[in-house]
Amino acid sequence: MSNPPALIVRPLTPADEAAFLPLWQGYNTFYHADVPAAVTAETWRRFHDPAMPVHILGAWKSAAGNPERLIGFATYLFHLSTWSMGPSCYLEDLFTAPDARGLGAGRALIAGVTDAARAAGASRLHWLTQQSNTVAQSLYDVVAKRSGFIDYHHEL
């Protein structure tokens, strides 16, 4: 019997871009989003600019004899809130490669963002998902509580 793969959650570095881009494309395909290349490039730049409040963690799978492979990512940002003294943390994107689902990457990434939010003095962590994304909700319902709010968007 083989050992399950180990998961390592860490911030992505500029050197991780080639590993990140296929997952980013998979995420955008999943949500039927057409994010222009210029937006992707600027977003990647922002992740590595210490003056920006947006961050990215990656979940890496490693097993004996196999090199590490990026299997998921989470992006998050901090913002002020009128409901608390400290900042809030918004988990904006969370994605696990389809062939790596069920290995615990999503849970590990949420835990990593939770740790980062606590370290930053955030009073809450929040996120959204599509109503039809029941697979993700089966995890989210275990690690958090539903807020009861309905999300609206008005494009500008």
More confident call, 121 vs 152: 121
Q: What is the pLDDT of residues 47-66, one digit of tens each?
A: 999 999 999 999 999 876 66
φ, ψ at 143 (rounded to 5°): -100, -10
In this structure, what are the phi and psi dihedrals at residue 48, rounded to the nearest 5 degrees? Answer: -110, 10
Q: How confident is the model at residue 155 (pLDDT cuts 50, 70, 90)?
A: confident
High-pLDDT (> 90) share of the chain, %: 69
Grouping H, G, I as helix, E, B as strand and the rest as coil, residue 153 is coil
H or E segment to which residue 127 belongs? strand 124-127
Across all residues in the chain, what is the average pLDDT?
91
Q: Is the distance from CB of 139 to CB of 95 less than 8 angstroms?
A: no
Could you tell me which of 67, 64, 59, 131 has the C-alpha nearest to residue 102?
59
DSSP state of 3: P
User: Is 134 in a helix, a strand, or coil?
Assistant: helix
pLDDT in tens, 11-36: 999 999 999 999 999 999 999 999 99
Confidence check: pLDDT of 131 > 90: no
Alpha-carbon span 127 to 139, nearest angstrom: 13
Q: Residue 26: exposed, middle, or buried by beta-carbon count in 10 A (0-12, 13-18, 19+)?
A: middle
Q: Above pLDDT 70, what percent of the chain?
A: 94
